[in-house]
């Protein structure tokens, strides 16, 4: 299996960083961006000031506004936000090139994981999921990063991992697609919760408790949906949870920090250009957890805060007042 010509779909921070990874060994890469200004600045100035400021980009990255230009790619890295995956895949030229899905979320309305959406829209394309602790600006600057590449077809997964691997970018193969997806989707909601703890000044003990109990929620939900514990405790789950629960570089953590400071969600989410996936994942995850009979009280609390249904004080009091229980239960 050889994947000579790679395309990246989505010219936000992560799509641009992935194009930079691919180009870093001298490979040509074609980047589809929705915004004409991104296409122009990548082609004219080798930069993406809109979504990935400061980082100089490789001249091997060429941008296009036409999805049809990606028709002859051997594999496509898909990096549009979760709620736009379906519409963008539907507009892709027909073909059966493997899709490497990067969005971390669950589709609102359908409760489908990204791989399930892609299977519906592009049934001929094999699917892989790329997920892990990867701030785009660090990856684009070539700083060392490890990530999970999950694919049900282990041979294809290893071939794609080999194609994307670079000295500073190390994909680990897995065949647990659902686990990789659930890790990435759930950690975004938990990062919002940790941001709330920071913004409300609740202390570092509370943050550690949230990471740990939030991880227990991720594992309960993941197991109910067929994920494996080793995937959830790997890069795509715990690894990414630790990263985004500790840094204002995370858009989800920053959103939660604003909520914790008492700013309404409506104000924090209005007119934003960048995506905080946890905000759209929280309500659908709460529904999906209910559907499989899994308790996710921290996810529920984030959901209530985002919906403006409860104050920070009220959700914290509610979480602390839950009946005492055994830790592993």
Ligand X SMILES: O=P(O)(O)OC[C@H](O)CO
Interface segment toward ligand NAD; rule CB under 6 A; list 74-82, 156-164, 229-237, 287-295:
74-82
Cα–Cα separations (whole angstroms), residue 302 to 188, 257, 298: 11, 12, 6
Cα(238)–Cα(187) distance, integer angstroms: 8
293 is in an annotated binding site: no
For ligand NAD, give the closer residue by CB, 36 or 71: 36
Which of 7, 12, 237, 239 forms a contact with ligand NAD (CB under 6 A)?
A: 12
90 assigned to a ligand binding site: no
Of ligand X, ligand NAD, none, which one sits near residue 172, judging by CB under 5 to 8 A according to partner kind? none
Contact partner at residue 11 from ligand NAD, ligand X, none, CB < 5 to 8 Å by partner kind: ligand NAD
Q: In angstroms, rounded to a whole number, what is the distance separating the alpha carbons of residues 97 and 124?
A: 8
Residue 83 found at the interface with ligand X (CB under 6 A) = no
Q: Which of 181, 198, 217, 240 binds ligand X (CB under 6 A)?
A: 240
With CB under 6 A as the contact rule, the residue among 177, 186, 191, 206 that binds ligand X is 191
Identify the residue among 3, 9, 61, 81 touching ligand NAD (CB under 6 A): 81
Position of minimal CB gap to ligand NAD: 12
**Selected binder of ligand NAD within 107, 176, 198, 277 (CB under 6 A):** 277
CB of 172 to ligand X, least distance (A): 15
Number of residues that bind ligand NAD (CB under 6 A): 25
> Which residue in the list 60, 187, 257, 290 is annotated as catalytic?
187
**60 in a known ligand binding site:** no
**By CB under 6 A, how many residues form the interface with ligand X?**
13
Region from 58-66, 75-83, 200-208, 310-318 binding ligand NAD, contact rule CB under 6 A:
75-83
CA–CA distance, 318 with 79 (Å, rounded to integer) = 37
Buried b vs exposed e over 252-264: b needs ≥16 C-beta within 10 Å? bbbbbbbbbeeee
Binding of ligand X by 250 (CB under 6 A): yes
Q: Closer to ligand NAD at the Cβ: 137 or 213?
A: 137
3-state SS, the chain, equals: CCCCCEEEECCCHHHHHHHHHHHCCCCCEEEECCCHHHHHHHHHHCCECCCECCCCCCCCEEEECCHHHHCCCCEEEECCCHHHHHHHHHHCCCCCCCEEECCCCECCCCCCEHHHHHHHHCCCCCEEEEECCCCHHHHHCCCCEEEEEEECCHHHHHHHHHHHCECCEEEEEECCHHHHHHHHHHHHHHHHHHHHHHHCCCCHHHHHHHHHHHHHHHHHHHHHCCCCHHHHCCHHHHHHHHHHCCCCCCHHHHHHHHHHCCCCHHHHHCCCCCCCHHHHHHHHHHHHHHHCCCCCHHHHHHHHHHCCCCCHHHHHHHHHCCCCCCCCC
Is residue 60 annotated as part of the catalytic site, yes or no?
A: no
CB 193 → ligand NAD: shortest distance, Å?
Answer: 16
168 in a known ligand binding site:
no
Q: Which stretch binds ligand X (CB under 6 A): 66-74, 88-96, 244-252, 317-325?
A: 244-252
Summarize the annotated binding site for NADPH as residue ranges: 14, 34, 104, 136, 251, 275, 277
Catalytic residue ranges: 187
Summarize the annotated binding site as residue ranges: 10-15, 34, 84, 104, 132, 134, 136, 187, 240, 250-252, 275, 277
Summarize the annotated binding site for sn-glycerol 3-phosphate as residue ranges: 104, 132, 134, 187, 240, 250-252
């Amino acid at each position: 299996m050889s994947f000579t010509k790679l395309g990246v779909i989505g010219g936000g921070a992560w799509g641009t960083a992935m194009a930079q990874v691919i180009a870093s060994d001298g490979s040509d890469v074609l980047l589809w961006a929705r915004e004409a200004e991104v296409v122009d600045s990548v082609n004219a100035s080798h930069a993406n000031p809109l979504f990935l400021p400061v980082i100089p980009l490789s001249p091997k990255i060429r941008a296009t506004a036409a999805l049809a230009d990606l028709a002859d790619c051997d594999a496509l890295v898909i990096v549009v936000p979760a709620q736009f995956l379906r519409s963008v895949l539907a507009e892709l030229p027909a073909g059966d090139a493997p899709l490497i899905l990067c969005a971390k979320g669950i589709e609102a309305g359908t409760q489908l994981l990204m791989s399930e959406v892609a299977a519906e829209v592009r049934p001929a394309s094999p699917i892989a999921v790329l997920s892990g602790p990867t701030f785009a600006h660090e990856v684009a600057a070539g700083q060392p990063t490890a990530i999970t590449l999950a694919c049900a077809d282990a041979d294809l997964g290893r071939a794609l991992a080999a194609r994307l691997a670079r000295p500073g970018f190390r994909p680990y193969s897995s065949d647990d697609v659902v686990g990789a997806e659930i890790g990435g989707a759930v950690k975004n909601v938990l990062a919002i919760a940790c941001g709330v703890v920071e913004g409300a000044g609740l202390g570092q003990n509370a943050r550690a408790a949230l990471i740990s109990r939030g991880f227990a929620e991720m594992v309960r939900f993941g197991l109910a949906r067929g994920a494996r514990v080793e995937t959830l405790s790997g890069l795509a789950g715990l690894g990414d949870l630790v990263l985004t629960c500790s840094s204002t570089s995370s858009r989800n953590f920053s959103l939660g920090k604003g909520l914790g400071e008492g700013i309404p969600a409506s104000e924090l989410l209005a007119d934003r250009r960048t995506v905080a996936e946890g905000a759209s994942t929280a309500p659908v995850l709460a529904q999906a957890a209910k559907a499989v009979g899994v308790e996710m009280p921290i996810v529920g609390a984030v959901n209530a805060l985002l919906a403006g249904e409860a104050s920070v004080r009220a959700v914290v009091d509610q979480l602390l007042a839950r009946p005492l229980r055994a830790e592993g239960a």
